[in-house]
Amino acid sequence: MKAINWLLTSEPYVEYATRKNLMNQDEDELADLKKQVLDDNRIKKLLSDVADFNGTLVTNHKNPDLPIHKLLFLMDIGLNREVAEIDRAIAQILANKDENGVYKSLTNVPKHYGGTGEDSLGWSFCDAPLMLLALIRSGISYQEQVKQGVDYLVGLQRDNGFPCAVSKELGKFRGPGKKSDPCPYANLAMLRLFLMIPDYTESEAARISVQSLLLQWENSWESHPYMFYMGTDFRKLKAPALWFDLLTVTDCLSHFSFALRDRRFQEMIGMLEAKANNQCQFTPESIYLKCKPWDFGQKKTPSPWLTYLCLNILKRCGRYGY
């Protein structure tokens, strides 16, 4: 329990997430702690940003400043639509649905990359599944507002996984790579969505995407479709869990029973677990420069939030060494 006790004496947002999500403590018991979280100036800034959801142009999906990444981070902490700014963000997402039920972001793809070169609402596999994921996590009706979009995206899957695909508004844009290759991030994003939908958690579509990621791990030094590598940088611990790295992939795959039993996944988990110190604390090995105000925005000392994320993964894998 040393690592858990450490989390409970760290910053309020980590303590709140630990008590609510890792220890399953009742929400009513956490009202005072939640108020401390909402009083954190960094949290206030994130909430202000997501309240203006389409105020940030999407030009780089790896950017931690994108509202969808901030919104999912807030939800990872345990905040949701009872917070006014998050409710406004969800309302803005709902206002931009296409005829296929997929939700769009404000983006701009230059002409030399196959786009129009103009600001427009559109979607790609880098963000569409995350928008649907945010809606499910916020309690929006799956049947009425989410299922159509999920079914449409699932229909784009091929035998080797999900491809790089975009909405018609983004023209002929496609990421750098062979058209026949699966896109690792598209598969990861769709799996993050599937884990919230009972009909898909044990589905063939989920199995195909899990196998696509595990096959890439098996050939990690040679295979890098669409420039998504599983090499040295991939293996460095980095938070928050928003892009394509060891933490984000293991966090997602640890929800799927057929991944847990796979030796390749066990190799990944073994690598993650080995990064803990003797107190079962985890230190960032890489950072997003825009996250410097947070405990995971440095590489010198253990990070409570990174440790919280890793402990959740280890708990799902039945490794209770903390």
pLDDT at 220: 93
Q: Which helix (H) or strand (E) holds 121?
A: strand 120-122
Q: Which residues are paired to 122 by β-bridges? A: 105
How far is CA 45 from its chain centroid? 20
The two beta strands, 120-122 and 105-107, are antiparallel
Sorted by sequence, the CB contacts under 8 Å of residue 12 that are 6+ apart come out as 33, 36, 37, 40
Q: For the chain, give every domain's residue range.
A: 1-39+231-322, 56-193
Which tokens belong to 148? 């159509």
pLDDT given for residue 14 in this prediction: 98
pLDDT at residue 111 in the model = 73
Distance between start and end Cα atoms, the chain: 5
Indicate yes or no: pTM above 0.85. yes
Tokens of 83: 């917070």
178: left (phi > 0), else alpha (psi -120 to 50), else beta?
Answer: beta
Q: Which pLDDT value is given to residue 320?
A: 66
pLDDT of residue 157: 97
Per-residue tens of pLDDT for the chain, all 322 residues: 689 999 999 999 999 999 999 999 999 999 999 999 999 999 999 999 999 998 887 878 889 999 999 999 999 999 999 999 999 999 999 999 999 999 999 887 777 666 677 788 899 999 999 999 999 999 999 999 999 999 999 999 999 999 999 888 877 777 777 889 999 999 999 999 999 999 999 999 999 999 999 999 999 998 899 889 999 999 999 999 999 999 999 999 999 999 999 999 999 999 999 999 999 999 999 999 999 999 999 999 999 999 999 999 999 998 765 6
Q: Are 244 and 188 in contact (CB under 8 A)?
A: yes
Do residues 101 and 155 make contact, with C-beta atoms less than 8 angstroms apart? no
